[in-house]
């Protein structure tokens, strides 16, 4: 399995992987001119030690590349990890890359995330961010219908502008932004991937990005079962 569908139209696809659990062992042991040809119990103990003691540089020698299709509100939260990866404690230079489709260049049919009537969440009682309990479906139906009308109007204005000869980079201003799906490639070291997962798998993370984080974990863990388990352990 290399692709998981998410939300109504989104997905994550694992495009490529470089490395294995053995990669981290050999990166750590190169200081002593040592190398393992297959993973042993001694090697597993070393990975656990590296993760437990915060010796993170060996975990930057394995790379994963994903194609992601998600609403813009998810993409912009995700982007913070690319910016922050170069400044996180012990991270060194960033090993993250991000290339995103742009409506400056493409005019494909826009796709939007529309929550179903039973998916709208209330504001939390004791926090300025995040969400609370699910709202009644009857109330959610009102918001789903309103959002659909908003999207339809924006699409009509966008298409009208394109038809009138307005350039794509300005016509896109008519499209409702935060729910619009965008597509990008994310390439990152395993350390960076696990940093993202550690924060976005938390119960108080936005539900939509939690769903993407769960998919990332499902796709990446079979390739690095020991390291991922240790880097995400409490």
Active-site residue, from 29, 103, 149, 200: 200
- How many other C-beta atoms lie within 10 A of the C-beta of residue 105? 8
**Alpha helices for 164-189 (secondary structure H):** 168-171
Which two structure tokens, joined as six digits, stand for 192? 């960076």
Q: What is the edge-to-edge ordering of all strands in the sheet holding 63-71?
A: 3-6, 10-18, 63-71, 181-189, 97-100
Alpha-carbon gap, residue 179 to 115, rounded angstroms: 10
Sequence-distant (6+) residues with CB within 8 A of 151 are: 112, 114, 176, 179
CA distances from 129 to 113, 122, 124, 166, 206 (A): 20, 11, 7, 38, 9
At 207 the pLDDT is 93
Return the domain boundaries, the chain: 3-105+182-231, 114-178
pLDDT in tens, the chain (234 residues): 899 999 999 999 999 999 999 999 999 998 777 788 899 999 999 999 999 999 989 999 999 999 999 999 999 999 887 755 554 444 444 567 888 887 776 667 899 999 999 999 998 887 777 788 999 999 999 999 999 999 999 999 999 999 999 998 899 999 999 999 999 999 999 999 999 999 999 988 999 999 999 999 999 999 999 999 999 986
At 31 the pLDDT is 74
Which two structure tokens, joined as six digits, stand for 206? 């936005």
200 is catalytic: yes
CA distances from 131 to 15, 164, 172 (A): 32, 41, 29
* CATH architecture for segment(s) 3-105+182-231: 2-Layer Sandwich (3.30)
Alpha-carbon gap, residue 69 to 77, rounded angstroms: 14
Contact of 186 with 65, CB cutoff 8 Å: yes
Alpha-carbon gap, residue 224 to 62, rounded angstroms: 9
């Amino acid at each position: 399995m290399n692709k998981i569908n998410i939300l109504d139209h989104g997905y994550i696809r694992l495009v490529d992987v470089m490395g294995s659990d053995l990669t981290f062992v050999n990166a750590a042991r190169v200081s002593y001119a040592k190398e393992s040809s297959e993973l042993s119990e001694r090697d597993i103990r070393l990975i656990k030690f590296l993760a437990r003691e915060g010796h993170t540089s060996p975990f930057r020698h394995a790379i994963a590349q994903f194609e992601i299709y998600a609403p813009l509100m998810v993409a912009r939260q995700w982007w913070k990890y690319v910016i922050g990866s170069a400044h996180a404690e012990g991270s060194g230079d960033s090993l993250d890359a991000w290339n995103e489709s742009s409506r400056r260049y493409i005019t494909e049919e826009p796709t939007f995330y529309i929550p179903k009537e039973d998916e709208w969440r209330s504001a939390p009682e004791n926090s300025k961010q995040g969400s609370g309990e699910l709202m009644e479906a009857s109330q959610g139906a009102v918001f789903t219908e309103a959002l659909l009308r908003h999207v339809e109007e924006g699409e009509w204005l966008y298409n009208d502008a394109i038809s009138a000869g307005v350039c794509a980079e300005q016509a896109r201003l008519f499209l409702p932004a935060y729910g619009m799906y965008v597509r990008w490639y994310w390439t990152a070291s395993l350390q960076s991937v696990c940093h993202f997962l550690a924060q976005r798998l938390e119960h108080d993370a936005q539900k939509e990005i939690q769903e993407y984080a769960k998919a990332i974990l499902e796709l990446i863990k079979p390739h690095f079962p020991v390291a991922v388990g240790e880097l995400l352990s409490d």
